[in-house]
Amino acid sequence: MSLRNQLERNGSWLFRHRSYLPLVAIPVFLACLPSFTYLGASHALNEAWQMVCLMISFAGLAVRIITVGRAPLGTSGRNTREQVAQTLTTTGIYSVVRHPLYLGNYLILTGMALWPHVWWLAVLSSCVFTLYYERIMLAEEAFLRGRFGDAFETWAAATPAFLPRLRGWKPSPVTFCWRTVLQREYNAFILITGVFFVFDMIGDCFAERRWHVGSGWFAVFIASFVIFATLRTLKKRTRLLQVEGR
């Protein structure tokens, strides 16, 4: 088997398990917390740093929202068993980057990795992300190449894989739909707020050598959990968030 075929095969396996494999990173992140101290020995400065990290992760969520909100039926889903693409999307955010969802994931991860202000964690996260998603992207593009042929090759030749180009945006003909976003992205939302809440709680405990739960982060997490529970209930038990053709 050629190296390219092997990488694509590995990517297909990683694609099928991409909902669970990233969880193996949790012990690495937690290992950074026992030695955690406030940035510059200042709680206020550390809070400001946390806000920067949170905004980076929310920027990643925003990229996902822009992508999912205009996704036509059969694309940008949460399918894990096999590749699915009824159409080749080349407009909207896909006109400036080929894998916007993974770009969003990287920004979310980067915000989390920067939080403990441990340089090697951010570097390690970027390296592992590259090895992991590079193979998934190879597998996805092999599928798209086989399904759409020259149309895919033309689009791929003009559109960067991961780092968006700054010009050439082509408006999407698909109307932006908030109901689709709310149906698909509540998991990413609670993941971000939940991780930052846990990081803040455990980090404060180690930095101050006492049990401490910040009221601000606690309020944010509770509000986020209420939103998460509401949207999950609406998705599972009603048709309110379902949109025909999405």
Report the C-alpha gap between 160 and 76 in whole angstroms: 18
Q: CB of 64 within 8 A of CB of 115? A: no
Q: Which domains does the chain have, with CATH numbers?
A: 9-79+86-237 (1.20.120)
Tokens of 148: 């759409």
CA atoms within 13 A on the CB side of 130: 7
Quickly count helices (H) and strands (E) in the chain: 8, 0
Tens-of-pLDDT digits for all 246 residues of the chain?
A: 666 667 667 767 667 766 666 777 778 888 888 888 898 888 889 999 999 999 999 999 999 999 999 987 666 555 545 555 668 889 999 999 999 999 999 999 999 999 999 889 999 999 999 988 988 898 889 889 888 999 999 999 999 999 999 888 999 988 999 999 999 999 999 999 999 999 999 988 888 888 878 788 899 999 999 999 999 999 999 999 888 776
